[in-house]
Chain A
Amino acid sequence: MKHIRSISEIGKAGVLAIVERAKQMSEINSRPVPKVPALRGKTVVSLFLEDSTRTRLSFETAAKRLSAETMNFSVSTSSVNKGESLRDTIETISDMGVDAFVVRHKSSGIPWQIEQWTDASIINAGDGAHQHPTQALVDCFTVSEAFGVDSFEGLTISIVGDIRHSRVARSNVEAFAMLGAKVIIVAPSTLLPPDVGHWPVTISNDIDDVIGTTDILYMLRLQSERMDQGLIPNLSEYGNRFGLSEKRVSQLPLNARIMHPGPMNRGVEMQVDPSHLSQSLIHRQVANGVSVRMAVLFTALTLNDDRDHAIQGLTKEAAQ
C-alpha cells in the first residue's frame, strides 16, 4: 500500500493487517533498545503545515525506531511563509530524494492533491475535517488490545462531540464500523454534518440515551470557536448536555471504556479527571501511537516483493 490517506482507501483487510503489524512493533518498543533497521536508507519528511505536537512527535519517533532518516519541515521557518506554493514545496523536497511525506494540513484533500507532484508515499497525518487515518488505526489497535478481540462485532461505540468538524470522527466511524462495531454519533444537530444518512451510524442528540448501553465512550474535543460561530450557545451548556461528568461515568456499564484523541478540554467535554478513571484508555492511545505509526510507515515504505526481507529486519536487534 503506497499511500495511507483514508480508511476507505486502506480497506478492512488493510486495517486488520496494520493493526496486526502494530503488535509486532509494540514488541519492538518493549525492548531495551527499541530500534530496528527495517527502513534503513529511507527518508521520511514530516510536512506539518498545521500545528501538531503529539502526532508529529509520534511519527518522528516511529520513523527513528525503524532507522529511517527524518526531515522536519516546519511552517514558521519555511518557504511557505515566503509565499511559495504547496506544489513548489512538494516538488523541491521531492527533488532531494525522499520516500515518504507525512502530511498535516488544515485543508481537506491535500494528500490527494499533492499526489500529482511527487512519487513519494503520502501518509495523511490529518487533512482538514476530512480524515485522520492513523488516529483511527491507533484507536482500533487500542480497542483491540483492551477488549482482546480483532473483530468489533457486538461492541457499541459512541462518539460524542463535534462530529461536523472532526477528521477523527470521520476516520473512526469508518474504521469501527468496518470492523463490525455498532457506532453511535452523539451531538447537538448543529455539530452534526448535514445529510449523513449513508454513514454506517445511528445518530443521537442525547448522551444520556446511549451511555447505559455503550461499551466505548469516545469523547471529542470541543473547540471554543464553535461558540463564536453560533453552533452552541456557550461552553457550559454544551458541557452540561454532552460533557463527561462523574454522574455519567457512574452510568456506564461495568466493563465500558473511555477514549479521547486529545488534546482534552478539561471542564468542557471532560468534566472529570480521566487519570483517576480506571476505565480510561487515553494513555494507551498515546502509547500505541508510536507502534501503529511504525506499522504505517513500514506498510507504506516496503513494497510487497521486498517486504519479506524487511520483515526479517524487524526480528533482529538493531545492529550496533
Chain B
Amino acid sequence: MSVVFRGGNIVTNEGVVHADLVVQGGQISEIGSGLAAKEVVDISGLTVFPGFVDLHAHLREPGREDTETIETGSRAGAKGGYTAVIAMPNTNPAQDNVPTIEFVRLQGQRAGLLEVIPSGCITMGREGKALAPMAELAKVGVKLFTDDGSGVQDPLLMRRAMEYSKELNVVLGQHCEVSSLTQGAVMHECGCSSDLGVPGWPSIAEELMVHRDIELARLTGARIHFLHLSTAGSVKLVRQAKLDGLPVTAEVTPHHLSLTAELLRGFDATFKVNPPLRTISDIDALKAGVLDGTIDAIATDHAPHARRDKELPLDQAPPGMLGLETALGVTCAALDLDPLAIAQVMSVAPARIAGIADRQGNLPRVGVAANLCFVDLNATWMINPETMASKSTNTPFVGRQLRGKVVHTMFNGDLVVRDGEALK
C-alpha cells in the first residue's frame, strides 16, 4: 500500500519545498515532483510537518478514566497533529513501577492513534520522599522522569535524583513550584487576586526552584528540563543558564503564551491552571524566549477534568485545561512563527528532549518513519467543545479565533486523521 500526497509545501532541512511525497511501508519513500502511487491525496495549500510531539499530557489512565482515557486522549492528540505524546505520571497508581509503565504504553498501542510514551516518577508516589526505581524504569524505556503536579521540594533529594539520572542518561522534568509559597493558591498573585480575595501563586515560587535546579545542574552536570515555564523571571534565568553552557531545556504551554490572570475575574475555574495564567509582560517574555531559543518546546499540559470538578468553588476546583486539539491554533495565533520554527518547537526539539528522535521529530526526508501532519497554516477557526475528541470539555479557548488547522495526521504510515476527522 502506497500513498502519494500531491502538491504540498514540505518542511525539510533545505527549507520549505513544494513537492509530492510518497509513503510506503510506514516510511517516506520518495519526495519529488510528478510522483504516483496507488492512493492519491491532494494536499495543495497544506504544509507538511513532522508529526508533533507533546512533552506534557495528562491522559488520566489509569485512575480517572471518567475524564480521559489513553484512547480518547490519543484521538485528541492525533486531531491536534501529534504523533507522539509523553504521558505524565500522576495517574492512579502513579507511574513509578514497571507494570503501570507497560500498561500505559500498551493502551497507547491498542488505541493505535499515536505513540504514547510513559514518563516515570522521580519519587515514589510523587511524594517527594524517596526515589522511584529509576534504573528499573529506564530499562523498560523511560527517558523522562518527573513528579509533575508538584515539584521535588527537598534540595537534597533533587540533588540525588540528578546525580542518579546522569548515570542512566535520562532527563528530569521539573514542575517548578516551591509549595510553601503557594498554599491554597487559586491564581497568579497580583492585584487581581487581591481584588478577588484569594491566595495567589507568586512568580517567585516558580523562579526560586528554577534557580535552585539550574545551580544543581551546574553542580551535577545532569540534564534538567523545565516544565511549563510561566514567568518572565524564569525565562531570564534559563537564558543565562544556556549562555553558561548548562544542559537545561524548557517548555511553555500555548495558554501561557496567550491568556492572562484577568480572565479569573469571572470566577470560572476553566481558567484555573498550575502554573497560573500570569500577566502580559510574562507573555511577552515567554514569546521572546520561544523566538530566541531560550524556550525549546511548546508543550500542552493537556489536563482533562470532569465538569463537576470544574464546577466546584474556585478555591476547590482542580487546576488544568485541555490543550492537545488547540495547541497549534493557539500557538500560531499568539506567535508569528515560520514553518521551520513551528516544526522546531512542536516536533524536533521535543522529540530530542524526550529521547525519541530515532523515530519522531524528524523533518520529512526519504527513509524516515512516516509520522507527519498536514496543516492549513492560513485557516482561522474556533474550537467547539462539543465536537472535541477529548472526553472532557475544559478548554479555555472557546470563542477565540485560532490560526493554523491540522487537516490530516499520519502515524507510522497510517492516516489516522483525515480532513480533521479521526479515522479510528
Contacts and interface: CB of A to CB of B under 8 A. Distances in A.
B96 interface: no
A128 B311 contact: no
Interface of B: 186, 189-191, 193-198, 200, 202, 266-268, 308, 311-316
A195 B190 contact: yes
B196 A105 contact: no
B191 A108 contact: no
A130 interface: yes
Interface string A161-196: 000110100100000000000000000000001111
B196 A109 contact: yes
The 9 closest A-B pairs by CB, nearest first: A109-B267, A129-B197, A107-B313, A193-B194, A130-B197, A195-B191, A112-B267, A108-B197, A107-B315
A164 B194 CA distance: 8
Contact of B194 (A87, A167, A196): A196
A199 B195 CA distance: 9
Contact of B189 (A129, A165, A195): A195
For the complex, would chain A's binding face be called helix, strand, loop or mixed by DSSP majority?
A: loop
Nearest to B198: A108
Interface of A: 85-87, 105, 107-110, 112-113, 128-131, 164-165, 167, 170, 193-199
Given A87-B311, A107-B316, A197 B191 contact: yes
Given A195-B190, A199-B194, 12 more contacts: A108-B197, A112-B267, A113-B268, A129-B197, A130-B196, A130-B197, A167-B197, A193-B194, A194-B189, A194-B193, A196-B194, A198-B191
A199 B190 CA distance: 12
Nearest to A128: B197
Contacts, number: 67
A167 B311 CA distance: 22
B191 A110 contact: no
B311 A108 contact: no
Q: Quick one: which of A86, A128, A164, A199 has the most chain B CB within 10 A? A: A128
Given A85-B308, A85-B311, A109-B314, A128 B198 contact: yes
Contact of A129 (B198, B267, B308, B313): B198
Q: Quick one: which of B186, B197, B200, B312 has the most chain A CB within 10 A? A: B197
A170 B267 contact: no
A86 B313 contact: yes
A164 B200 CA distance: 12
Contacts of A130: 196-198
B220 to A, nearest CB: 33
Given A85-B308, A196-B191, A113 B314 contact: yes
A113 B186 CA distance: 15
Given A87-B311, A113-B311, A194-B200, A108 B267 contact: yes
29 contacts: A86-B311, A86-B312, A87-B311, A107-B314, A107-B315, A108-B186, A108-B197, A109-B196, A109-B267, A110-B267, A110-B313, A112-B266, A112-B267, A113-B268, A113-B311, A113-B314, A165-B197, A167-B197, A170-B195, A170-B197, A193-B193, A194-B190, A194-B193, A194-B194, A194-B200, A194-B202, A195-B190, A195-B194, A199-B194
Contacts of A86: 311-313
Contacts of B196: 108-109, 130
